[in-house]
Amino acid sequence: MSKKDTSVKRIVICYLVSIGITALIGFGLYYLTLPAINVHSVGFWGYLLFMGLMFTMTHATARSTICKNEISVVGKKSASFYGTVIGVGVAAIALLALIIGGIASVQMFHAKTYAGIITVQEGDFEKDMPETTSVTNIALMDTASARIIGNRTLGSLSQVVSQYTVNDHYSQINYQNTPKKVTILEYADFFKWAENRSNGIPGYVMVDPVGNSANYVEFSKAVRYAESGCFGDDLERKLRFSYPTKIFGDMYFEIDDSGNPYYIVPCMTANAGLFGAMDVSEVILFNPVDGSSQIYAVKDVPNWVDIVYNGDLASTKYNWYGKLSGGFWNSVFGNKNCKMTTDDYGYIVIDDDVWYFTGVTSVTSDESNIGFIITNARTGEYRFYAVGGAEEYSAMGAAEGEVQEKGYEASFPSLVNIAGQATYIMVLKDTGGLVKLYALVNVENYGIVATGATQAEAILAYRKTLARNGVGGTNEQDVFPSAVIAVENVRIVELDNLAVVYITANDGTVYKGSLNEDESLILIRTGEEILVSYEETDFGGQLRTLRSWERSR
């Protein structure tokens, strides 16, 4: 074999070794990191940059050992040199894509595109949110409290607690017209996966955020693919190999109306430049039992699905709309008509759909809201309500202040309509994260606060507080119990420089009123019948606080 043939052979070996090593490392990296093969994915360009640099390094090493001092068959420079050029070129292209694509995607160049991602309808608060008498459509419990209850539920099941843990991520769903939080069990660690993978994951935890309870539910067929699965049982790996070009958003575990498990997987795409204004374009419904899946356009997603858009994305898109509708420079300097959401959200169920609730405030003020929005978590519909008042954290502070001696912490509130009044409703938790009280705070006047051990008690106390303050045109007879009584005795007693009137009915019940607040009490006579409205006290119904009275006709 000639010297020239030997050179060619070594050059070929040099390339084969470089490509082989790079391919082996590249496959391992892809298997671990699972980037989408999509030009709109930052991860794809980062992967390509790494691969270009890796090929450059491996090829340079191969050149220095295998192809050292070889002469090119086409010129003086070694042909193996061009492999280095290729590697550097790929890395350079990827780096430029990241830099230039990132700059070209910023809001400054695409303000109208960012602002136009959503449309916002003006809503009618009283029409869209009928008056509430009991709260059964709002998940007042936050995820932290759900975790505590869910973990306690699993802890009582000895057959699963030693092998599985509860996934920390709870999905807010509407199941059979009731708000629920659900999460799936996960393998406790790699060894538990290896030991139990043939049996799969047996069930999930369902938390009732209205009733503050949780249940463990077994699947009819065990789940194979999970976040804690390894190798081929890994949920994201299974999805990536099935959909190599899709950019996955956050995945959500849900159950359909029959209790069958699914993962809801939003697929994202850029709407501005290469990486900007990312939004959901399609949705994958993945069956973790058998690994089957189907992809839908957003408008075609089945109605039982609850979460397509997460709350963070819903708020981010509204902020694009609120800040950039007047142009980028207005959002930086003038701030004319610029608005943004508060930095958290609650949940409401309306017409079998889960909606996010969050306040809207001017970008120049963080102490009050100019209104609020609700966003459909499945369809992405937005509604704005021009109900001004206290922002959520001020209301939370007011609720905490009502029971400050207990040191309870308020959760982020949701919104209800009580007596025509926009009202924040929230739970108050102890230091252990357990729900202790319910609180309601008036949006327009956060000095109007009421609490109760149950939702019913809290709502009744709030309606009474509204009546006392003359807010919302509340009729006291609709809030406070009433009765027609025959007056058996009337006594006036001075207590702490206040004249207190005690009216004894013929059934022995005593009604207490203040002459300082209502001088007309002096007109009540023994033996006459009067209509009274009253509040119950802690004396077993024998002593009641008089709210109002009039002569019975």
Among 210, 214, 213, residue whose Cα is nearest residue 454: 210
Q: Read off the pLDDT of residues 516-544 as tens digits, 9 standing for 90 and up.
A: 888 889 999 998 999 888 877 766 678 88
Q: Any idea where the domains of the chain sit in the sequence?
A: 3-104, 143-300, 311-383, 390-477, 480-551
The length of the chain in residues reads 553
Cα distance between residue 503 and residue 522, in whole Å: 11
Band (76; pLDDT cuts 50, 70, 90): very low
CB 184 within 8 A of CB 167: yes
Residue 68's pLDDT band (cuts 50, 70, 90): low
Long-range contacts of the stretch 80-85 (C-beta < 8 A, 24+) = 80/11, 80/14, 80/15, 83/14, 83/15, 83/18, 83/55, 83/59, 84/56, 84/59, 84/60
pLDDT band at 472 (very low <50, low <70, confident <90, very high): low
Which pLDDT value is given to residue 469?
80
SS3 content of the chain, % helix, strand, coil (to 5): 35, 30, 35
Report which DSSP code applies to 244: T
Query: Tokens for 548?
Result: 């109002």
Q: Please report the pLDDT score of residue 178 as a whole number.
A: 82
Two structure tokens written together for 542:
């024998």
| Cα gap 335→389, rounded to integer Å | 21
Half-sphere exposure of 294 (CA within 13 A, CB side): 7
Q: Which residues contact 398 (CB under 8 A, 6 or more apart)?
A: 390, 441, 446, 447, 449
Whole-angstrom CA distances from 19 to 45, 74, 274, 366 are 19, 22, 29, 57
Read off the pLDDT of each residue in 137-165 and give the average, rounded to a whole number: 76
**Whether the predicted pLDDT of 74 surpasses 70:** no
What band does 154 get if pLDDT is binned at 50, 70 and 90? confident
Give which of 415, 433, 321 is closest to 374, Cα–Cα.
415
Average model confidence (pLDDT) for the chain? 87
Residue linked to tokens 């419904």: 285
For the ranges 99-103, 137-141, 204-208, the lowest mean pLDDT is seen at 137-141
Contacts of 174 (CB under 8 A, 6+ apart): 180, 306, 349, 352, 353, 354
Is the confidence at residue 463, as pLDDT, over 90?
no
The amino acid occupying position 6 is T
- Cα dihedral 30, 35, 38, 40, rounded to 10, equals -150
Beta strands in 57-123 (DSSP E): 120-122
Q: CA 47 to CA 243: how far, in whole Å?
A: 17
Q: Inform me whether the pLDDT recorded for 5 exceeds 60.
A: no
pLDDT value of residue 71? 45
Instruction: Tell me the mean pLDDT in the region 318-344.
Output: 92
- Rounded to whole angstroms, how far apart are CA atoms 47 and 33? 9
In which band, very low, low, confident or very high, does the pLDDT at 73 lie, cut at 50, 70 and 90? very low
CATH of region 480-551, choose from 2.10.60.10, 3.40.190.10, 2.40.50.140, 3.40.30.10: 2.40.50.140
Sorting pLDDT into bands at 50, 70 and 90, what band is 133?
Answer: low
Contacts of 98 (CB under 8 A, 6+ apart): 42, 45, 46, 49
Q: Please give the average per-residue pLDDT across 66-84, as a whole number.
A: 57
Q: Are residues 181 and 209 in contact, defined by beta-carbon separation less than 8 angstroms?
A: yes
pLDDT digits (tens, 9 = 90+) for 333-392: 988 989 999 988 988 888 888 999 999 999 876 678 899 999 999 999 999 999 888 889
- The Cα 124–Cα 133 span in angstroms is 19
For residue 236, which of 245, 224, 248 has the smallest C-alpha distance?
248
Is-contact 110 89, C-beta < 8 A? no
Distance CA 389, CA 446 (A): 8
If you search the block for the tokens 């000639």, which residue do you land on? 2
Burial of 21 (0-12, 13-18, 19+ CB in 10 A): middle
Side-chain half-sphere CA neighbours of 143 within 13 A: 14
| Arithmetic mean of pLDDT, 156-185 | 85
Determine the pLDDT at residue 205.
92
How much is the pLDDT for 75? 47
pLDDT digits (tens, 9 = 90+) for 9-46: 777 888 888 899 999 999 999 999 999 999 999 999 99
| Across 147-172, average pLDDT | 81
Total Cβ atoms within 10 A of residue 388: 16
Q: Which residues pair with 479 in a beta bridge?
A: none
Of the candidates 110, 89, 94, 111, the one whose C-alpha atom is nearest the C-alpha of residue 41 is 94
Q: What percent of the chain lies above the pLDDT cut of 90?
A: 53
Count of other CB atoms within 10 angstroms of residue 297: 9
Task: State how far the alpha carbon of 135 is from the alpha carbons of 12, 138, 451, in Å.
Answer: 74, 6, 14
How many distinct helices (H) and strands (E) make up the chain? 14, 28
The partner residues of 213 in beta bridges, in order of sequence, read: 208
